Amino acid sequence: MNRRDLLVIGAGPAGMAAAAKAVKLGLTVTVLDEQPRAGGQIYRDVERAAKARGAMLGKDYVYGASLAAEMRESEIEYLSGSIVWAIEDGFRVSYTRDGSGAQIEADRILLATGALERPMPLPGWTLPGVMTAGAGQILLKQSGVLARRAVLVGTGPLLYLIAAQMVRAGTPPLALVETQTRSDFIRATRHLGGALRGWRYLAKGLTMLAAIQRAGVPRFTGATDISVEGQDRAEAVVFTCAGREHRIECDTVFLHHGVVPNVQAARSLDIPHEWRADQACFVPQLDGWGESPVAGVFIAGDGAGIGGAKVAEIAGRLAVLKIAEAAGRLSVKERDQRAAPLRRMIRRELAARPFLDLAYPPFAGALAPVDETIICRCEEVTAGDIRSAAKLGCLGPNQAKSFSRAGMGPCQGRYCGLTVTTLLAGANGQTADQTGYYRIRPPLKPVTLGELAAMSVTEPVGKE
Amino acid sequence: METDYAIIGGGVVGLSVAWGLLKRGLRVTVLDGDDGSFRASRGNFGLVWVQSKGMKQPRYARWSQQSAALWAEFAAELGHNTGLSVPLEQRGGYDLHFSEETLQDTVSKYEVLKEALGGDYPYEVLGHNALRKEEPHIGPKVVGAILHHQDGHANPLKLLQALADDVRRLGGHVLTGKTVTEVTKTDGFQISCSDSTTVSAAKVVLSAGLGAAQLGPKLGFKAPVRPQRGQVLITEKLPKLINRPSLIARQVDEGGIQIGATNEEVGRDDRVTQPGLSGLAAEAIAAYPALAKAQLVRSWGALRVLSPDGLPIYQESAEMPGAYLVTCHSGITLAAAHARLLPDWLEGHQNAPDLEVFSEDRFALS
Amino acid sequence: MKTASPFLELDSVERVELSFNGELLHLPDGSNLAAALLASGVDAFRKTPVSGAPRAPFCMMGACFDCLVEIDGVVQQACMLEVRAGLEIMSPDTTGAFDEPA
């Protein structure tokens, strides 16, 4: 079997930068990525789309094309369209490509699997026409597809970015329904000092807001009691703002209240995670290089804790320094010397984070939804079902999964895991760390039985 | 004394016993583990199964038959009490065979057992064509099957949930997140947990699955139980594809096809492996070729709780009378017997089932 | 199922013919299948096996599994596929009826 010094999973900023760096340091590298073309979600399909609509998408997006080109031009085995479904000791990684199963072995693994939208369960969020704001961006970046009559709901800079891009494309959203409040902003201002060191981010935010306002897009802030109405598809967003109920008819609703690490691969390796209160999510335990307590497994990018694309890129390079040192390609001294400027860059890039996290906190109404709200989209389990499970003694998500089926569907809990943890913690009066998370097992993504069977080397194993 | 019975272990075995005792008006406290405990109740295959059990010990075959016969009423009562459904189908089940030799070999063993059971062992042999009439999706490699009419399958998770609900409704105290560290006996039993919870009880039932291996000796049991890993697969929800369950695959009430299971001696490692998944997938496709296009959505490894001969252990402690070891690998099949019949044995009633052959005296001192 | 599209397409790419639930569609060759179906006005990609509720793409990044479609008998994520001529795309069967062997 093909054995590599380093296997990188994910070709977003962290994965692309890490792979290119690792090859320069003399390592043999394979990159497995699910998408047909490199970029991850932030730079989705960037080499094609930057040409078609770079001006609309902006400089920050177009920058990703240089990372993709650098990776493409390196001596990297880059396997696009590869869906990883098992990572086992050794390391042995099983994946699907072109409809058949394959395996690769590597001494070290870098997980660069990025972020997911924080689940935002609201009444009506499963209706066709309701999507994540990230999905709206992907439609625009990759396919040049724009929603004609959309309402953006939630909070955070990404909401402004997509709104600004829609304005530039000539189809401004019908409204921004924002959940952050004035007091969130006031609380955040004590971190304004740090934020000013990251002033570029704030300046960008203000420019986007100005463009949105110039286009006459109505903004509602401090919105509560948000739901999506519709029979067979989204027809309107209903919410309360300043004591008044509003109803805005629309065809498309884009939801967003932050992104969270995609922990599926890390969890499947039993890497311990801890709750990060400032980002309201679990993050993997890592050392200063991104190595996990499972020796040889590194994590870089948003999967290690949300930092954004630039931090991901630098963290990918930082992790490779330790990987190269461990593989005998760098001395400890060289490693540490090269790491110092990278660490400074990461600190600078993260300076605005505490301000942003406090100014745009997750929407409370979606962290602990009302009983009738579906929280597990796959199995259509409600918040009330989870609270009932708690009453039957479920202290954590795994027992609650057995009782409610939450997390049993094909998405493997990606869009209900944090909600279930939060609901159980609330109902049982425990912390998120005490409550824990789903035990993630293979397959990380569904795989056909035929494909699995074709990988069987012997007759049915270990069966009486 | 706080309670008549302390049940150590809140899985299907412990809760079934607790439920039966509560129905008799006894006070019961159940001590259950945490979210990450090894839980066979969460990982089992869900068969309510008779065939192939007790080939060397007809009393075990009979005990399984007794339980299977009580299951429908048991499930109905739980459903009625809680408003939760406990799906159960008892329309027979298959032992599928890929060779005439293994089929004939199994049939001759069944004949011996049938004789020992006085003829009460209703099975028939279906050749490939007869089987295909019952199971249109069966593959050409399957030469035939033994259809046993006392077999069936249930939804084991809904059973667990209904028991958890009804035990509480009947007034049982269920303490969760507990790790029992010590059990002592003076007047009655004192049970201590790692978080310094204590419970005093007149009697103790140890139904802690693999946990019995550590706790058992403190109560005077040998408790020779070991883990055996079974990997299980489940597909996406599919249209009806499989009529009756088999040891290879069954279609669960929610629509997924459940495929099992490996038998692996790997200690307390409950991970799944690619070779395990692939081997099970290959066998399932050999039985039902249409499954080749089905997506696997979940898999898990669970640890069977096995005694040296695979049979249950029902034992009162000689050292600490009033303490009972209850352990088995077929907690779902035996749930009805544990709920309906075992309380008589624990209470020492005259009509208690004769469980002498399940005493751990049958195992040599280790 | 198919209505006036709530989406606007910026690119003009050569289109190829395929079918969705038997209806012929002309979609941009090589484009993301989920995006192309949405842009062509397909509202609901499938009904859930649990309640029969309609579903359409939600995340567009292979994580949510709401955009499932059936192609060549295999249920897969439309957002992870590209448009090709001749695809016969179906909503996955969740009727629960006994499936006739092929």
Tell me the H-state helices in A377-430.
Answer: 383-391, 397-404, 417-428
Q: Where in chain A is the domain with CATH 3.50.50.60?
A: 3-116+261-330, 119-257
Q: Which chain C residues have a beta carbon less than 8 Å from that of A410?
A: 65, 68
Residues A446 and B183: their CA atoms lie apart, in Å, by 46
Q: Which chains touch C (3 or more CB pairs under 8 A)?
A: A, B
**A296, A409, A426, B14 from B302: Cα distances, Å:** 27, 19, 29, 18
pLDDT recorded at residue B365: 59
pLDDT recorded at residue A195: 74
Cβ–Cβ below 8 Å for A233 and C64: no
Report the run of H or E that residue A309 belongs to, with start and end: helix A309-326
Q: List the CATH code of the domain at B3-78+156-223+309-362.
A: 3.50.50.60
Domain that holds residue C81: 15-90
User: B63-111, pLDDT tens digit by residue?
Assistant: 999 999 999 999 999 999 999 999 999 999 999 999 999 999 999 999 9
Cβ–Cβ below 8 Å for C6 and A129: yes
pLDDT recorded at residue A190: 86
Q: How is residue B2 annotated by DSSP?
A: -
Average pLDDT over residues A409-429: 97
CB A106 within 8 A of CB A3: yes
| C95 vs B: CB within 8 A | yes
What is the band of A460 on the pLDDT scale with cuts at 50, 70, 90?
very low
CB B67 within 8 A of CB B333: yes
Q: Which of residues 167-206 of B touch A (CB under 8 A)?
A: 168, 174, 176-177
> Does the residue C57 lie in any domain?
yes
- Can you name the CATH fold of B226-306? D-Amino Acid Oxidase; Chain A, domain 2 (3.30.9)
Phi, psi of B224, deg, nearest 5: -80, 70
pLDDT recorded at residue A91: 96
Q: Which chain B residues have a beta carbon less than 8 Å from that of A269?
A: none
Cβ–Cβ below 8 Å for B292 and A449: yes
**A80, A449, A452, B285, B292 from B281: Cα distances, Å:** 26, 5, 6, 6, 8
DSSP track, C72-94: TTEEEEGGG-B--TT-EEEPPP-
Q: Which of residues 274-293 of A touch C (CB under 8 A)?
A: none
What are the E-state strand segments in B168-255?
A: 173-175, 180-185, 189-193, 198-206, 226-237, 249-251
> Does the residue C45 lie in any domain?
yes
| C75 vs B: CB within 8 A | yes
* CB neighbour list of residue A207: distance below 8 Å, 6 or more residues apart: A164
| C53 vs A: CB within 8 A | yes
CB B242 within 8 A of CB B142: no
Report the run of H or E that residue A157 belongs to, with start and end: helix A157-169
CB B41 within 8 A of CB B47: no
Q: Where in chain B is the domain with CATH 3.50.50.60?
A: 3-78+156-223+309-362
What average pLDDT does the structure give for chain B? 96
Average pLDDT over residues A114-118: 98
Average pLDDT over residues B212-232: 96
What average pLDDT does the structure give for chain A? 95
pLDDT recorded at residue C95: 63
Phi, psi of A44, deg, nearest 5: -55, 125
* CATH entry 1.10.1060.10 includes domain A3-116+261-330: no
What angle separates helix A157-169 from helix A199-214, to the nearest 10 degrees? 50
Q: Which of A59-63, A70-74, A445-449, B154-158 has the lowest mean pLDDT?
A: A70-74
Residues A243 and A239: their CA atoms lie apart, in Å, by 10
Percent of chain A with pLDDT over 90: 91
Cβ–Cβ below 8 Å for A34 and C62: yes
B293 CA to chain C: closest CA distance, Å? 5
pLDDT score of A462 more than 60: no
The complex's ipTM? 0.95
pLDDT recorded at residue B321: 97
Average pLDDT over residues A273-301: 97
pLDDT recorded at residue C1: 44
First to last CA, chain B: 35
Q: Is the peptide bond before A443 cis (omega within 30 degrees of 0)?
A: yes
* CATH entry 1.10.10.1100 includes domain A368-435: yes
Q: Count of CB contacts below 8 A, B vs C? A: 35
User: B122-152, pLDDT tens digit by residue?
Assistant: 999 999 999 999 999 999 999 999 999 999 9
User: C12-66, pLDDT tens digit by residue?
Assistant: 889 999 999 999 999 999 999 999 999 999 999 999 999 999 999 999 999 999 9
> Does the residue C5 lie in any domain?
no
C100 CA to chain A: closest CA distance, Å? 19
Q: Which of B262, B233, B228 lies closest to B249 in space, CA to CA?
A: B233
| A447 vs B: CB within 8 A | yes
CB A262 within 8 A of CB A115: yes
Q: Which chain B residues have a beta carbon less than 8 Å from that of A402?
A: 42, 157, 160-161
User: A142-200, pLDDT tens digit by residue?
Assistant: 999 999 999 999 999 999 999 999 999 999 999 999 999 999 999 998 888 777 777 77
Report the run of H or E that residue A49 belongs to, with start and end: helix A46-57
- Please name the member of B137, B236, B241 whose beta carbon is closest to the beta carbon of C75: B236
Cβ–Cβ below 8 Å for C54 and A127: yes
Q: Where in chain B is the domain with CATH 3.30.9.10?
A: 226-306
Tell me the H-state helices in A198-253.
Answer: 199-214
pLDDT score of C96 more than 70: no
pLDDT recorded at residue B122: 98
pLDDT score of A458 more than 60: no
Token representation of residue A153: 């709901």
| A307 vs C: CB within 8 A | no
Cβ–Cβ below 8 Å for A450 and B277: no
- Please name the member of C72, C74, C96 whose beta carbon is closest to the beta carbon of B239: C96
At C19, which CATH number?
3.10.20.440
Residues A53 and A50: their CA atoms lie apart, in Å, by 6
Q: Which chain C residues have a beta carbon less than 8 Å from that of B293?
A: 72-74
Percent of chain A with pLDDT over 70: 98
What is the band of C3 on the pLDDT scale with cuts at 50, 70, 90?
low
B250 CA to chain A: closest CA distance, Å? 15
pLDDT recorded at residue C11: 85
User: A50-59, pLDDT tens digit by residue?
Assistant: 998 999 899 9
Average pLDDT over residues B239-258: 96
User: B12-70, pLDDT tens digit by residue?
Assistant: 999 999 999 999 999 999 999 998 888 888 999 999 999 999 999 999 999 999 999 99
Q: Which chain A residues have a beta carbon less than 8 Å from that of B160?
A: 402-403
Q: How is residue B364 annotated by DSSP?
A: P
| C71 vs B: CB within 8 A | no
pLDDT recorded at residue A201: 79
Class of domain A119-257: alpha beta
- As for how many domains chain C has, the answer is 1
